Chains A and B, each alone.
Chain A
Amino acid sequence: MDEGTELCVTIGQIVQRLKGTHLHSQIERQAKECLHQPDIRLESLKEDVRSFLRTSGEHTQDIYLQLPPSHPAAPPEHLKEPLAYMRKAQASWEKRVLKSLNSMSSELGVPLARRRPTLEQKELTNKWNEMGTDEPDLSRFRPVYAPKDFLEVLISLRNPNHDSSEEVSVRSHWGLIQIPLNVRDVPQLRRAYSELNMATGQLGIDDHAHVHPVVSEQDSAAAQQYSRQGCPTELRADLWALILNSTNQPQDVMHYEQLKAGVIQHDLLVDNLIYKDVKLTASNDDYYFVFEDFLYQVLLCFSRDTAVLDHFKYNSATPPKSYMEGVIPFHGFSMYVAPLCFLYNEPSKLYSVFREMYIRYFFRLHSISSSQSGIVSLCLQFERLLQTHLPQLFYHLRQIGAQPLRIAFKWMVRAFSGYLSTDQLLLLWDRILGYDSLEIVAVLAAAVFAFRSENLMEVTSLASAEAVLADLSTLKVMPLIQIFLFATAI
């Protein structure tokens, strides 16, 4: 391997591992600024970088050692997901989803992709801003899968090397997830989420908790730290954009316009699924129905964005090869976008923030991986927290056939979008961004059970347990999390 190729591979690996850290956004912003300086020429950029790396070898090595460890002998698929059986499970799940999509295509006689006739293109251009008024016949389409189907797959996950000879009753874990991943317990969570403790001011509990304008400094690390205690409503849009490094540059607007042109030219089968999903979820929601048109615009563009495919480099999933897009929406997918509509009213900005949120966090909620923010870890964490701190409740629910995860899974897979009231949901997402982890979602799910535990102890069936937990819109997120993490004796 010559030096050039080796360097490319190394740089690729570094970028991949930096992706999603605030260091990455800062480097990217610096690079953007540097490009405008006159003494840097694009033609010699590659050579300059190479000579810099050569001269500053020692320094680079220091930085490199700070990164999470990865091994040069590890094959690419190992970097995506270290556990072989997880990779296998994800691959077979994808195969199943694709198969069902393909069979839908052949059953209904709808091609996966087709070019729109000119007349239709014109029509769509004219009603781009009011796509919600269109009422296509979608009765034949059904969502490819619902969270419930995905949960069944997660429940059936097994480690082939794990000793499962004992009866389930003597197993130390009563829950549905049987994968021995390492999840944090409450003392560890207390240390990790120390900014959420009772003594620290929290937006969402105290007003004027902390006012420190970090937006003007354009420091995404500071913004992230700030977000841990909640963002004030008027600053949230800017802070999130800063953390996610979605600066809405002219090229971002252009990229969005290109995607829009793609939507107008081609019609995908997936578009129908998006329409169907928006109609089924967001349009029926008291908070989000007003954003219906925005949702179509963003999601249709999203389905055609090749930049989204980049996240497959570090996701255990692989992109489907048979057609243009990469992400197959499931029932409730549009709820990832809906809350962001409260923050951004410009479609291109909304789009870039959503895309960043997706490739950093949300993809983990519907792919099988061993990541700490992955849905498998979240489910296990939820069950462990509940079993350790509310064993009686867990035992009771298990006895009446209402496994807690069966109720909580739908909340977690959507990161609570559509279940909490929007102000509370945004406060929760502040913390996801602030801690760069979805772990808090599992903590909140357990906290909700703890909060309703008295009522839950009296129920006698899954249906009545679900009824007790049907309406979460009155809950206040931060007090629940604080009480569960910091005010419960353990």
Chain B
Amino acid sequence: QGEFGALCPLHGAVFGSCCDMHFSQGSRIRRNKIEEITFKNYYTAYVTVRLLRRSPGQEAAAKWWTALRDLPLMDNPHTEGGSQDYFSIHRTQVEPDHVVSVRLILRQPSSAWLTFNLEEIKIFRFMEPVSSSHSKSVMRFPVFHPVVPVHVLCWFSQGLPDPQTVSSSIQQMWALTEVMQTNQTTASIGRFDVSWTQDDRLCPQEVLHASVSRFILVVLMFSFI
């Protein structure tokens, strides 16, 4: 298994950042099969893998193709779980053949972190199995443990929560809205626009914020009546 990817420094923008890795022209394209991509996470919540692939034997232009979309790396974007863990993406999860370039798109919806990136990125070349030596395949490590933080979402998905529930945790929501307000950023989002409303994995802070506004709106309406 040869390692042929280079390390590439990534710096987090506000919501997302991306990194391209090109394979040197010297390596014959048809042999660019990837076995595994491993990396160490540093506060990236989701990673999307896009591959620039060229069909073998054709002179057609290479095409970008999304191999993996929004793979969760952290249990919850706002808390530490998975924030500094090692991960690997195995060839069974993507189809990484005839690859010219690999693009990793990183996203972090939480404003809690100052920066996020991936470290120690290594790409391993796929080797055709030579013999039936079992010793390597015995210990195939589990690759991902996706845990989507849905518990917060379920809570709000059926409309407004009941007043008692809200009152017990209203102070926390209030504090969150304060944080959201002071946290309005002017930094550019970069080339990848992130629209959270279309995503089913909403950022809990945004949900809370929206919910609080709705709650306040209802209270105001009642006071007019």
Contact = CB atoms under 8 A, between A and B. Distances in A.
B58 interface: no
A207 interface: no
A161 B111 CA distance: 11
Nearest to A78: B86
B130 interface: no
A163 interface: yes
A71 B183 CA distance: 35
Nearest to A162: B112
Nearest to B40: A73
A399 interface: no
Interface stretch (B22-30, B131-139, B193-201, B217-225): B131-139
Contacts of B42: 161
Interface string B103-120: 000000001111110001
Interface in B147-176: 151, 164-165, 168-169, 171-172, 175-176
A72 B78 CA distance: 26
Contacts of A180: 78-80, 112
Contact of B88 (A6, A71, A161, A171): A71
A388 B172 contact: yes
Nearest to B135: A3
A370 interface: yes
Size class of the contact patch on chain B: 35 or more
B168 A181 contact: no
A182 B169 contact: no
Contacts of B120: 73
Contacts of B81: 181-182
Given A72-B141, A73-B88, A171 B79 contact: no
Nearest to A183: B79
A71 B86 contact: yes
A6 to B, nearest CB: 7
B87 interface: yes
Contact of A69 (B111, B137, B142): B142
B76 interface: yes
Interface string B88-104: 10000000000000000
Contacts of B151: 187-188
Contact of A73 (B38, B79, B135, B178): B38
Contact of B80 (A65, A78, A370): A370
A391 B169 CA distance: 8
Interface string A153-169: 00000010111001000
A36 interface: no
A10 interface: yes
B113 A57 contact: no
B182 A170 contact: yes
Interface string B27-60: 0000000000010101100000000000000000
Given A71-B88, A188-B151, A172 B114 contact: no
B20 interface: no
B221 to A, nearest CB: 25
B216 interface: no
Contacts of A489: 164, 168
Interface in A42-86: 53-54, 57, 60-61, 64-65, 67, 69-74, 78, 82-84
Contact of B141 (A69, A170, A187, A188): A69
A181 B75 CA distance: 11
A47 to B, nearest CB: 14
Given A54-B138, A182-B80, A490 B114 contact: no
A57 B133 CA distance: 11
Interface residues of A, number: 45
Given A180-B79, A182-B79, A391-B171, A73 B86 contact: yes
Contacts of B80: 83, 159, 179-182, 370
Nearest to B152: A185
A490 B168 contact: yes
A387 interface: yes
A105 to B, nearest CB: 37
B114 A162 contact: yes
B83 interface: yes
Nearest to A171: B175
Contacts of B85: 71, 74, 82
A375 to B, nearest CB: 15
B134 A61 contact: no
Given A57-B134, A163-B111, A181 B79 contact: yes
A172 B179 contact: yes
Contacts of B86: 71, 73-74, 78
Q: Which of A83, A172, A490 has the most CB of B within 10 A?
A: A172
Interface string A174-198: 0000011110000110000000000
Given A84-B84, A180-B79, A182-B80, A6 B114 contact: no
B145 interface: yes
Contacts of A74: 85-86
A389 interface: yes
B191 interface: no
Given A69-B145, A388-B172, A182 B76 contact: yes
A61 B138 contact: yes
Contact of A61 (B113, B139, B172, B176): B139
Contacts of A389: 168
A172 B79 CA distance: 13
Contacts of A391: 168, 171
Contacts of B111: 163
Contacts of B135: 3, 6-7, 54
A64 B116 CA distance: 31
Nearest to A50: B135
A450 to B, nearest CB: 12
Contacts of A69: 141-142, 145
6 contacts: A54-B138, A61-B140, A82-B85, A163-B114, A179-B80, A182-B81
CB-CB nearest 7 A-B residue pairs: A71-B86, A182-B79, A172-B175, A170-B178, A74-B86, A57-B138, A391-B171
